[in-house]
Amino acid sequence: EAGVAQSPRYKIIEKRQSVAFWCNPISGHATLYWYQQILGQGPKLLIQFQNNGVVDDSQLPKDRFSAERLKGVDSTLKIQPAKLEDSAVYLCASSSRTSGSSYNEQFFGPGTRLTVL
């Protein structure tokens, strides 16, 4: 079974530039998550999709971050304009369980390491 794919793996930009990350979840997984992981900390949820609808975006800085999941499969996360504090690893995860189950293993991609100069 193919894992969660993310691209690019690394990105270096200057502040105020824009950047986009792409995620392809495991086939058939209805739920997709984007996490931000700052160096030395655990991942923090930015946004969660169920199919192509947003379930939780309460921690997404909406003035500069946006995300979409067209057709309920691939997803893109965009930052515009980037700030120095956005330097982090951006992780995408997906899971298959939708309801009625306590078991909801999330499968993570390798992440995109963003450096903002």
What is the binding site for another protein (CB under 8 A)?
A: 4, 31, 33, 40-45, 48, 50, 55-56, 91, 93, 95, 97-111
Please tell me the distance from the alpha carbon of residue 39 to that of residue 31, in angstroms, as a whole number.
Answer: 26
Nearer to another protein, 22 or 108 (CB): 108
CB 28, min distance to another protein, A: 15
CB 66, min distance to another protein, A: 19
Nearer to another protein, 48 or 75 (CB): 48
- Number of Cβ within 10 Å of residue 71's Cβ equals 7
Angle at 70 between CA 54 and CA 98, to 5 degrees: 50
CA distances from 55 to 2, 50, 59, 64, 95 (A): 25, 6, 12, 19, 14
Nearer to another protein, 17 or 96 (CB): 96
